[in-house]
Amino acid sequence: MFEAIELGQSLSKKEFKQAELQFRAELLQLQQQLVEKSIPVLILVAGVEGAGKGDVVDNLNKWFDSRGMMTHAFWDETDEQKERPEYWRYWMSLPSRGSISIMFGGWYWDPIYQHSMDRLDDAGLDEAAQRIKDLEDTLNQDGVLIIKLWFHLAKKTFRSRLKKDSEAAKHIKTDADDHHGGLEYAPFLAAAERMIRRTDTSAATWHLIESEDRWFRDMSVVEVIRHSFKQRLEEHRVADRRVADTNLMPETSPATVLDTLDMSLALTKSDYKEQLQHYQAKLSQLVWQAYDAKHSTVIVFEGWDAAGKGGAIRRLTDTIDARLYRSISVAAPTDEELAHHYLWRFWRQVPRAGYMTLYDRSWYGRVLVERVEDFAQPHEWMRAYQEINDFEEQLVDSGIVLLKFWLHISPEEQLRRFEERQQIPWKQHKLTDDDWRNRDKWDGYAQAVNEMVLRTSTGKAPWSLIPANDKLHARVEVLKTVCQRLEEVLKDN
């Protein structure tokens, strides 16, 4: 692959400077148009050491208006990063709409490096490539323009440059040896080739750039970027609105998974007290053990209005040391959040290792309220299933214990609770016109819930459907489920 760009191409400084007079104004104009169209741009800068990636980034910072432009390197990990899923740092560095992020290496560096050091085999690299493709697809569909640049040097040049690159190399070896030390040319390129072949997609094309000559290299960068910007601005970009028309279940089927629940389950008050105490005592221990074992826990609560989410959450947090948990009621997104992929705000909240986060409503809003109320279009919520599964898989793979509860009540029980809320002064604020409106769309919601469970109840992140007509039963059931899961996970340690 790479031999095709070992051509010894070059450009004179004079030619480059001449061209620069033209292209600088053009690049700025294009940037301005991208800002106006709120298009986020991600430029990934990768390649062999010594090819001048740093110089290229400096140039980009010079040519473009630096407002709304940010450069990210991922070499000197903090424990805030180490204690979260691998991709957390990348999500936190994504461009918002109308801005440009430049990433050194980005999600490519680590798998390529590990493979070239024989710490990752071919299958591992391919798996990493698949995950990258999924992410790039997601970003592309969300409107991000992804430009991937690979800077290449022939072996001879690489050798001679490496010697010169003394100062940085010295520090990098001392400070991040595990990440950059002992790189050999041939295995590195072999890993890179395999990775590039697997991730060169129409959603995010690779551009290989010969970097022997700096003027030729810089001119190539300009051309790639100019072309990519123009293409994106000129195309009448229509998001992929295709919707799989093969439902997992016939739409006409009136029954949903919710109909299978035994809604008669209930507890007497004395049974409740006893079991509540039992599981709460257990939980308060388990949470400290999870902290010690550095296992985070993420618990999602979804359910009908008035299904008792808040009460169930409180029966958990009552007993947990307040230093160890964070409880999040999902409200309207801020403008920083709106300027990113809808999952960004949830990535932002991923807990550090050892902590617990409880969600009163969650990222499932996309396939529930946003679907039923038409806030999201079908192609948007349809692809959300896949995106959510990917997100949750990464949480679980990083050691996070993920639990998802759907609290289910009957329409009759909901009505009873609404009417009760109207009577109790400190509950009146909980009942809004929206609640009554949502109630009218019960069937639509039921179908959405059914499909959500079908598509996102995975082996790694199953849904727990809790019959909640009896609050006491529901609360104990939730507590018990959390305790059981934590015990299982901690036993394996």
Residues that bind its own copies (CB under 8 A): 21, 24-25, 27-29, 32, 53-54, 57-58, 61-63, 65-71, 73, 75-76, 78-80, 83, 104, 167-168, 171, 175, 284-285, 288, 291-292, 310, 314, 317-318, 321-323, 326-327, 329, 331, 334-336, 352, 360, 425-426, 428-429
Nearer to its own copies, 50 or 467 (CB): 50
Q: Are 330 and 361 in contact (CB under 8 A)?
A: yes
Nearer to its own copies, 121 or 292 (CB): 292
Nearer to its own copies, 355 or 463 (CB): 355
Nearer to its own copies, 93 or 201 (CB): 93
Beta bridge partners of 108: none
412 three-state secondary structure = helix
Nearer to its own copies, 73 or 265 (CB): 73
Reading phi first (left if > 0) and then psi (alpha if -120 to 50, else beta), residue 243 is in beta
Find the shortest distance in angstroms from Cβ 353 to its own copies: 10
Tell me how far apart the alpha carbons of residues 183 and 166 are, in angstroms, rounded to a whole number: 15
Alpha helices, DSSP H only, in 235-334?
Answer: 269-292, 309-317
Q: Are 365 and 330 in contact (CB under 8 A)?
A: yes
Nearer to its own copies, 461 or 474 (CB): 474
Q: Are 321 and 354 in contact (CB under 8 A)?
A: no
Nearer to its own copies, 316 or 382 (CB): 316
- Say which residues have a Cβ less than 8 Å from residue 237's Cβ, sequence separation at least 6: none
Tell me how far apart the alpha carbons of residues 256 and 244 are, in angstroms, rounded to a whole number: 20
Find the shortest distance in angstroms from Cβ 201 to its own copies: 27
Tell me how far apart the alpha carbons of residues 189 and 148 are, in angstroms, rounded to a whole number: 16
Nearer to its own copies, 68 or 365 (CB): 68
CA atoms in the 13 A half-sphere facing the CB of 70? 14
Find the shortest distance in angstroms from Cβ 437 to its own copies: 19
Nearer to its own copies, 198 or 352 (CB): 352
For 229, other C-beta atoms within 10 Å of its C-beta total 21
Closest residue by Cα to residue 60 from 210, 215, 218, 204: 218
Find the shortest distance in angstroms from Cβ 67 to its own copies: 4
Q: What is the edge-to-edge ordering of all strands in the sheet holding 145-152?
A: 69-72, 100-104, 41-47, 145-152, 206-210
Find the shortest distance in angstroms from Cβ 381 to its own copies: 24
Tell me how far apart the alpha carbons of residues 370 and 438 are, in angstroms, rounded to a whole number: 12
For 217, other C-beta atoms within 10 Å of its C-beta total 28
CA–CA distance from 403 to each of 143, 154, 299, 400, 424 (Å)?
31, 50, 5, 10, 32
Nearer to its own copies, 59 or 481 (CB): 59
Find the shortest distance in angstroms from Cβ 1 to its own copies: 27
Find the shortest distance in angstroms from Cβ 248 to its own copies: 34
Nearer to its own copies, 187 or 310 (CB): 310
Tell me how far apart the alpha carbons of residues 56 and 356 are, in angstroms, rounded to a whole number: 42
Nearer to its own copies, 314 or 439 (CB): 314
DSSP classification of residue 467: E
Find the shortest distance in angstroms from Cβ 32 to its own copies: 7
Alpha helices, DSSP H only, in 200-307?
Answer: 214-234, 269-292
Find the shortest distance in angstroms from Cβ 174 to its own copies: 8
For 285, other C-beta atoms within 10 Å of its C-beta total 12
Closest residue by Cα to residue 111 from 83, 131, 92: 131
